[in-house]
Amino acid sequence: MVNGLTSASRTWSHHPPAFVRPDTSALWYLSRMSSRKRIAVIAGDGIGKEVIAQAVRVIQSVGAPVDLTPFDWGADRYLADKTTVPPDGFSMLARDFDAILVGAFGDPRVPSNIHAREILLGMRFQMDLYANVRPVRLMDASLCPLKGVEPRGIDFDVIRENTEGVYGNLGGVFKQGTPDEIAIQEDVNTRKGVERIIRFAFEYCLNHRKLDGSPRGRVLMCDKSNAMTHAGGLWQRVFKEVAAEYPKIETGHMYVDALCMQMVCDPRGFDVIVTNNLFGDIITDLAAGLQGGLGMAASGNLHPGKTSMFEPVHGSAPTIAGKNIANPFGAILTAAMMLAHLGMKAEGDQIERAVLEAVREKKTTQDLGGTLGTAEAGAWVGERAARCDMSA
């Protein structure tokens, strides 16, 4: 037991002993000595548990030099002892781990969803993971509901501000239950928050390439500044200022409503999109639809230089949980993204290549037209990833 965190019960590792008690301070020391990366795994609720088991299997199959420590934070733990996040939980994660791999939270037995809010939003806010990065890649034309779109036509990233906007729960209700009831939900936009996410988007554009190897070159800012003039005005001013520091990067702007229409009419021109917390939430679900649905979408919650958190875009999907039918590819691609972020690009590429092959060969769950279960699809990808020759 470390720091009162009884939730972690074992450490996954490629090298025996496979299961040891989680002494995270010892892990810190060993990782520093061996340059192995330390990953906290919080599978959570519902299909989170099923898909993260497959992501872990695939990470292990490519031999990534990582130590994986599971934590049982989620509905079961909350119902057992009312713990959402153990004392010192977030500082322990920041101190003792290089990254966190998360499944999903949400369980009908906890209608208030308090554990999900405290764990997930707590991680984003208290660990200040201000940049939510959501890659949108079409692996195979068959996955896209649009006609005539080739995979290379959908290859963009949405950079969503992750710590401000309407998610701070500021506001209140007045005269509740009367005909005069007033509900106010504040939209918080700080100069610091807007500037750092916009700068992150430009840096991301500079430092990331498209799947075909060509450089990224365009940052588009999405807002609703014609209606939300105060917040939008700040975003507009800051975007122009920061863009001036990156003269080689092309810039663009779209109102969120126009962007949604463009995304379903012709998404081929998008490259890097930066936007606020709420619009980012909405357009990334829309974008997930372009790449085969929620089961295919990956995301990272980043703060450069700090411990970052990676999670599939989908939620806990209680209606399909426990049936071995959830698509594990979003979680597996999330794991690949995490490994690349931690400097293991080759392993990340290996995993992405294996998922691509699974999609092409229809070794998938039913939502993608295949016949495999969650575990079988994960096993197929794990096996293929283990022998993916990246030079081929």
* Chain contacts with ligand ATP (rule: CB under 6 A): 47, 51, 104, 106, 294-295, 314-320, 326-327, 330, 367
The question of whether 167 is a catalytic residue gets the answer yes
**Single-letter amino acid code for the residue at 256:** V
Residue among 81, 88, 257, 266 flagged as catalytic: 257
Cβ–Cβ < 8 Å for 323, 350: no
The CA distances from residue 121 to 16, 33, 78, 274, 291, in Å, are: 35, 33, 16, 20, 26
Q: How many CA atoms lie within 13 A of 204 on its CB side?
A: 28
Q: How far apart, in whole angstroms, are the C-alpha atoms of residue 55 and residue 375?
A: 10
Measured from the CB atom, the residue of 198 and 379 that comes closer to ligand ATP is 379
The question of whether 257 is a catalytic residue gets the answer yes
Burial class (CB in 10 A: 0-12, 13-18, 19+), 242: buried
Q: Considering just the CA atoms, what is the radius of gyration of the chain in Å?
A: 21
Measured from the CB atom, the residue of 294 and 302 that comes closer to ligand ATP is 294
CB of 333 to ligand ATP, least distance (A): 11
The question of whether 363 is a catalytic residue gets the answer no
CB of 189 to ligand ATP, least distance (A): 25
Residue among 167, 204, 223, 271 flagged as catalytic: 167
CB of 281 to ligand ATP, least distance (A): 11
Cβ–Cβ < 8 Å for 380, 364: no
CB of 159 to ligand ATP, least distance (A): 21
Q: Provide the H-helix boundaries in the chain.
A: 24-34, 47-61, 75-81, 89-96, 114-116, 122-126, 191-207, 229-243, 256-265, 277-290, 329-341, 345-360, 374-386
**Single-letter amino acid code for the residue at 70:** P
CB of 26 to ligand ATP, least distance (A): 34
Q: How far apart, in whole angstroms, are the C-alpha atoms of residue 54 and residue 77?
A: 22
In this structure, the number of other CB atoms found within 10 A of the CB of residue 157 comes to 23
Measured from the CB atom, the residue of 57 and 216 that comes closer to ligand ATP is 57
The question of whether 212 is a catalytic residue gets the answer no
Measured from the CB atom, the residue of 85 and 221 that comes closer to ligand ATP is 85
The question of whether 285 is a catalytic residue gets the answer yes
Residue among 23, 128, 140, 285 flagged as catalytic: 285
CB of 297 to ligand ATP, least distance (A): 9
Q: How far apart, in whole angstroms, are the C-alpha atoms of residue 91 and residue 100?
A: 13
Measured from the CB atom, the residue of 226 and 319 that comes closer to ligand ATP is 319
Measured from the CB atom, the residue of 232 and 315 that comes closer to ligand ATP is 315
Residue nearest to ligand ATP (CB): 315
Write out the two tokens for 153.
């036509």
Indicate which residues carry an active-site annotation.
Answer: 167, 224, 257, 281, 285
